[in-house]
Structure formats: structure tokens, C-alpha cells
Amino acid sequence: MSKRKQPDSKVPAPSMTEQEKVLYNLIQSKQDLGIWSRDVNREARLPNKVVAKSLESLLSRGLIKAVAHFQSKSRKHFLASEFEPSPEITGGKWYDQGSLDTEFVDFLKGQCLKHIRNLKIATVDTVADAVRRSRVLKVDYSSEDIGEIVGALVLDNDVIEMRSNGLGEFAAVPAGGACYKCRDATKEPRVGAMASIPCGVCPEVARCTPGGVVSPATCEYYSKWLDF
């Protein structure tokens, strides 16, 4: 469902020229996806100069807004001002000015990790509660949002996901419920056998053959590895 602010019924409908009305209706019909500036000319079927002038007028009166697409900052989408731009244009709630807000996401990951460590066995809800109570965030984030961050911690292998059996240390979590536990931070993650040797991560391995141009005997990665 598109996010849409309710228009104020006490404000009289703004007066627009016929061309402006055509453009405004077109833009409004696109709701939270808006319309790419390049497509406006094509779909409105108005002369370019008229389109440009009308858009400028609508922008200056605050009836529409221009939002940069996350894929390319030069690509502008026009939206009616009452709509919040869709994640398809912005990239999503974790995006800022077209790029993933890595700094903020890493900060939030660190907070969640700290709370999971303190809780020993945590659920998404208990972590979300702990984050809210800590008041480190200016904006409220839902359990769903925190769940996405915890999911990323699982993918980073900082946190293990398990199923509760409802007993012992899992007593607070209903049996079968998803819960999380920190990986032992004092242990260095084990490097796999292939990752430990040059061949395992070699970009030339497909070309490598005994006696070939790229071979184990002449391999520079090996020479570097064995250069103590």
C-alpha cells in the first residue's frame, strides 16, 4: 500500500493551467513510484517546453517533489507531494541519498549484538525491546526492522540461530520458537582448508596446469606465501 499523507481538506484546491493539470494528474496517478522525468514527456504528449515550464511551476508550489533514484543520482522521479517515495526509488528504509547507510546499519548491528550477548538467549522481540529501552535511536524501529538486522548478523556468522526446546536456558522462549545466541567472540573463526592455501583463492586456477604457463612450480602466489 502506498504511503500517502492525507491532504488537508481546509486548504482550497490549487489553481492550475490545463497543461499543469494534465501533468499533475499523470504524476499523481503513479503514486509512490512516481514517474521518471524522461517518461513524463512521452506520456503527457505535450511539447517539451510546456512540460518543463509546468513542472517548474508545480515544484515551486510544492504540489510535486523530485526524488533521486538510488541507481543513479541524475535520474529524477517526480511524485505528488502527498506520497512517500517507494523503496524501489530510494532503495529502501536503510538507504540515505541513494546509498545504503552502511555506517548506521553497522552501528545498529553492534547494538543488537551487544544486547544478544547480554541476554544470552534472545529473540527478535527481546532484542527490539532492549534497543528501544536503550534510547540510542532517535526514530523508533519495529521488531520487523530489528529482525532484518539480526538476520544480517546471522549471515555475518556473528550470531547463531536456533530453535528453542522450552527447557533450561531456553525456558523463556516457547518450544519451536526462533532464538539467537552470540558466537564465542574470543575464538578466531576457523579458516577453511582451501582458503588457507594460495590455490583455494587463486584467480588463475582455471589456467593453472603442471608444466603450463601458470603452474605450481612457477606460481608467484606460492612464492609469496613461502617467503618467510
Partner 1 sequence: MVSPPSQYGIKYAVHIVSSHFGDLVAKVCECLLRRGALTHQNIVRFTEMSASQVKNCLLVLIQQNCVQAFSVEHPGGVGDASRRSTEYMALFDNIIHRMRLPKFVAVVSQELDKECVELFQGLLQHGRLTLEKMIDRAKSGREDCTAQDATRETLFKLVNARFVEHCPDPEPHLSPPSEEGAPARKRTKSSKVAAEPETLEERVLAAAAPMEAKRFLIMFDTATEEDGQKMGDSFLGVGEKRKSDALESDKELGSEGDRVLWRVNVQEFMHRFRHKACVENVRERLDGGAAVALSAMLETSRSMEKKVKTDISVPLSINTIYEEVMKGEAGRAMTLDHLRASLVMLGCERGADESYKIDLKNIIEQAQNEEVESVVLKKYGQNAYRIFRLLSKANRLLETDKISDTAFVDKKETPKILFRLWKDQFLHMEKVVVTGPRQTQFLLWKVNKSTLWPHVLDEMYHAALNLNLRVAYELEKENELLNLPIEKRSGPLEKRYNRIRTVRLLLESSLMKLDDAIMLFHNF
Using CB under 8 A, pick the residue from 15, 18, 210, 213 that binds partner 1: 210
Three-state SS string over 98-122 comes to CEECHHHHHHHHHHHHHHHHHHCCE
Q: Could you identify the residue written with the cell 538510488? A: 70
Q: Does 68 bind partner 1 (CB under 8 A)?
A: no
Using CB under 8 A, pick the residue from 17, 99, 134, 142 that binds partner 1: 99
Q: Does 185 bind partner 1 (CB under 8 A)?
A: no
Amino acid occupying residue 219: C
The CB-of-82 to partner 1 minimum distance in angstroms stands at 24
Using CB under 8 A, pick the residue from 205, 207, 212, 220 that binds partner 1: 205
Nearest to 215 by CA among 226, 199, 200, 228: 199
Q: Does 102 bind partner 1 (CB under 8 A)?
A: yes
The CB-of-95 to partner 1 minimum distance in angstroms stands at 8
Q: Does 191 bind partner 1 (CB under 8 A)?
A: yes
- 111-170 residues in contact with partner 1 (CB under 8 A) are 148-149, 151-152, 155-157, 160, 162-163, 165, 167-170
Nearest to 61 by CA among 14, 129, 13: 14
Q: Does 33 bind partner 1 (CB under 8 A)?
A: no
Please give the Cα distance from 92 to 100 (Å, whole number). 8
Pairing of strands 72-80, 64-69: antiparallel
Q: Does 178 bind partner 1 (CB under 8 A)?
A: no
Please give the Cα distance from 33 to 38 (Å, whole number). 14
Nearer to partner 1 among residue 11 and residue 217 (C-beta): 217
Nearer to partner 1 among residue 142 and residue 215 (C-beta): 215
Q: Does 172 bind partner 1 (CB under 8 A)?
A: no
User: Where do contacts with partner 1 occur on this chain (CB under 8 A)?
Assistant: 70-71, 91-92, 94-95, 99-100, 102, 105, 148-149, 151-152, 155-157, 160, 162-163, 165, 167-170, 184, 187, 190-197, 199-201, 205, 208, 210, 215-217, 219, 222, 226, 228
